[in-house]
Amino acid sequence: MDSELKELYQQVILDHNKSPKNFRVIENATRHAEGYNPLCGDRIDVYMNITDGVVDDISFKGEGCAISKASASLMTSVLKGKRKEEAEKLFEKFHDLVTGKLGEKPDTDELGKLAVFAGVQEFPVRVKCASLAWHTMINALNNKTVKVTTE
């Protein structure tokens, strides 16, 4: 594979695409939001249980490309146990990462394993794939029932 392409489809991303984590419905979830990318027809449902401002459980269902699926999978595994404010902060950081605001070699201390999405910045049309799950999560977090769309 071309090196730029390898940056986008890192092995971690391919693995999460194949066997996504937290790919399930949480019955009776306290928070739920739906996301939609009309450009490629991707749909995602994010479910959350929040207790005392902490993400007790988080999961997703839906269909999408490797980038969006891996992004949702990694997001859910990173956010479990995080406080609401931390989740919001991570969202901003992640958004800056995929839109290239952190530069080509971003400081990945805070992002941890989310740093694998740095390659997305070279593919402007794929930014929405990477961020759909996050936008949907923020809506679920804030109890917004409106459907998120990336267009």
Partner 1 sequence: MINTETETAVTVSKKYFDVNKIREDFPILRKKVHNKNLVYLDNAATTQKPEFVINKINEYYTTMNSNIHRGVHALSQTATEAYERARIQIKQFINALGKNQIIFTRGTTEAINLVASSYGRANIKEGDEIIISHMEHHSNIVPWQLLCKEKNAKLRIIPINDNGELIFKEFEKLVNEKTKFISVVYVSNSLGTINPVKRIINYAHQFNIPVLLDGAQAVNHLKVDVQDLDCDFLAFSGHKIYGPTGIGALYGKVELLDAMPPYMGGGDMISKVTFEETTYNELPHKFEAGTPDIAGAIGLGAAIEYVSNIGIENIIEHETSLLEYSTKQVSEIPGLKIIGDAKEKAGVLSFVLENIHPHDIGTLLDFEGVAIRTGHHCTQPLMQRFNIPATSRASFAMYNTKEEIDVLVNGLKKTIKVFG
> Which of residues 30, 61, 66, 149 is near partner 1 by CB under 8 A?
66
> Which of residues 42, 90, 119, 139 is near partner 1 by CB under 8 A?
42
Nearest Cα neighbor of 123 from 78, 77, 71 is 71
Dump the DSSP string for 22-74. TBS--TT-SEEEEEEETTTTEEEEEEEEEETTEEEEEEEEEE--HHHHHHHHH
Give the interface size with partner 1 as a residue count (CB under 8 A). 23
Phi-psi map region of 81: left, alpha, beta (phi>0 left; psi -120 to 50 alpha): left
Q: What residues from 6 to 25 belong to the interface with partner 1 (CB under 8 A)?
A: 8-9, 14, 17-18
Closest distance to partner 1 from the beta carbon of 2 (Å): 5
> Which of residues 43, 74, 118, 138 is near partner 1 by CB under 8 A?
43
Q: Which residues contact partner 1 (rule: CB under 8 A)?
A: 1-2, 4-5, 8-9, 14, 17-18, 39-43, 63-67, 69, 123, 126, 129
